[in-house]
Amino acid sequence: MGSGAKSSYGGSSMHRPNEDCCSRCITRVPYATLIALILCWAGVGVFCGTLYRGVNLTLRVLQDVFRLDKGLGWVEPTQLAFITLGASMAALALMILMVAILATGNTRHEVYRSSLGRTGGTIACMIFIFVTYILLFCWLIVFACCIVMTVFYSLSWGVCNTDEIGWEDGFIDFYPYHFMFPTGTMRENMEVRGPAEIKMFCKDYVEHAEIMFILATVACFIVIVSLVHFLMALSANYAHIRGHDKFAELQDLHDLTSETLTLTERDPYHIK
């Protein structure tokens, strides 16, 4: 009688004879985490590609137009750090998807039957929530950097489009922003003169770099949205696992009560 009650709580809900394989698979898919995974991978892919191209164009502007060779050693490590952060997001998103699959639908009832399994699932969710919060903070910093670069290139492109800048004998003076240049930079290196330099600065570099950083900023925002989505899904999975723990305790209490009632019914016969 105890085993029958147990199957009425868990077994029949996990394996219905009239339920086909497709329906069981659909109920095991974590759709919220899957949507966040797609957003994350799309945003990371666009971010890594556009940021790599944008930083390369920025380096060429500094070296070819402003003739700066010193004080640029930090640019490539920063570029590598941003791309590494983006690539790590793809692996983290996949791991979070695995945790979500284990905590969704009938899979949760099968995986988290034991107390040890439920404890492991709870700890995994807590760890991923903590890591996701840290990554969210990092991506907010990256988002701020992308906004700064986008504003800079948008202003530069606006300067290039003004009527005062002639393409034949144009002249752009960046000396008022000399505090942004490395110490010891000569004034003539802060000026863009002549049609060749004007074309190289405006058309070859600034125009393309502006597009790259706009796309990188949008992609970074998409990644931030996916991280917030991951946090909501992980919190829900944590609650489901903790709720399943209480459900398992209730099921054990039901089984114990059923066995007690069975023994009580049999006692008069044993006394006789």
pLDDT (tens digit, 9 = 90+) per residue, 67-107?
Answer: 887 767 777 788 788 888 888 888 888 888 887 877 665 55
| pLDDT for position 148 | 94
Tell me which DSSP letter residue 272 carries. Answer: -
| pLDDT for position 228 | 93
Nearest to 2 by CA among 265, 245, 246: 265
Average pLDDT for 148-175:
80
- Asked which of 14-18, 214-218, 241-245 is least confident by mean pLDDT, the reply is 14-18
Instruction: Considering only the C-alpha atoms of the chain, give the largest distance between any 2 of them, rounded to a whole number of Å.
Output: 118
Token pair, residue 28, equals 């095991």
pLDDT in tens, 222-245: 999 999 999 998 888 777 777 655
Residue 105 sits at φ, ψ, to 5 deg, of 60, -145
How many helical (H) and strand (E) elements, i.e. helices and strands, does the chain have?
9, 2
Token pair, residue 210, equals 């502006």
Residues contacting residue 71 through CB under 8 Å, at least 6 positions apart: 182
Whole-prediction pTM: 0.75
Residue 90 C-alpha from the chain's centroid: 8
pLDDT band at 161 (very low <50, low <70, confident <90, very high): confident
Residues contacting residue 35 through CB under 8 Å, at least 6 positions apart: 229
Tell me which DSSP letter residue 171 carries. Answer: E
- Rg (the chain; Cα; Å): 30
**Distance between terminal CA atoms of the chain?**
23
Query: Helix or strand or coil: residue 173?
Result: strand
- Asked which of 59-63, 77-81, 101-105, 257-261 is least confident by mean pLDDT, the reply is 257-261
